[in-house]
Structure 1
Amino acid sequence: MFTGEQIASLLTDVGVTHVVTVPDSTLGTWYAAIERTSKLTLVRVCREGEAWGVAGGLYLGGATPLVMIQCTGLFESGDALRNVLHDWKLPVFALIGYRSYLDQSTLPGDTCLVFTEPVLDAWRIDYRLVTEPSQLDAIRAHYLACREARRPGAAVIAEGKA
């Protein structure tokens, strides 16, 4: 939906310093552009739960990190998310890929469509669903609003176009 250059430019413009991520076939297409941007540091972790802790530590150290994971990683990382966002009350923002949202035929029976938004609601994450390329500015606006309010948030980016 978005090019790596668009995402790198957006993240640089809003002041993100570190992108903490797990290798992913869809979001991973943005890595090269992020790495070419001198103002962004790409931090690859092994598991999504680790991403929240690393981002929390970066924030406490004065950085402005962002977590970038797929929705399946959101499911895996719940306890770490709870600690960082709710117990520590750190305003970490996330870009979350919404697997199969645009084309369910790529993974018939994929339950990501059943659970992603209810899980975000259960964790009380203020998120915006992004389903079209024209919504790039909506990500920017939501990120800046969350940062201004010093609260966590997410942009959930539809994936799966065949």
Structure 2
Amino acid sequence: MTKPTRLWDLVVLLLVATVATWLLVRVAYGSLPPIPLYAGASLYPVALVEVIAAFLIRARIDDRRIGTGPRELNPLTAAKAAALAKASALVGAASAGVWLGFLLFVLPQRRILRAAVEDFPGALVGLVAGLLLVAAALWLEHCCSTPEDPTKTGSAGPAQPSAG
């Protein structure tokens, strides 16, 4: 199994995307097209699908329905979902950084520029979408992990019948 996504990596990506976007927007804001209200909203359905997948995967793992049967969780499917979660967390962090950089430029300009007032809601929708995708992806990745082995944690767990 791969290592879990590190929160620090996501924070660094968000900060780099924020600074890069702020610099770009600062230089080229006048030539950018207006930001529609739902410009960043495409990430909302992805986050929703990942949350639903997380609950389905976690339920099958908790019920120990893992295998290749029709109502079981194929281990390869769990691995693919974990890979999707890692990629989505990175996309969400980068996207949130882009929208945050845009917002950091637009916020102080709202008193001066009418375009900044009109761009603010769309950028806010995008920022929230990016952050929700990160949260959904981290939840999915967590749900794809195998539960702790009771013998390793020292808890008793259910009694097993003896073989003899």
Same fold (TM over 0.5): no
Give 1 or 2: higher strand fraction. Answer: 1
| TM class by smaller structure | under 0.3
TM-score, length-scaled by structure 1: 0.23
Which is greater in Rg? 2
Give 1 or 2: higher helix fraction. Answer: 2
TM-score, length-scaled by structure 2: 0.23
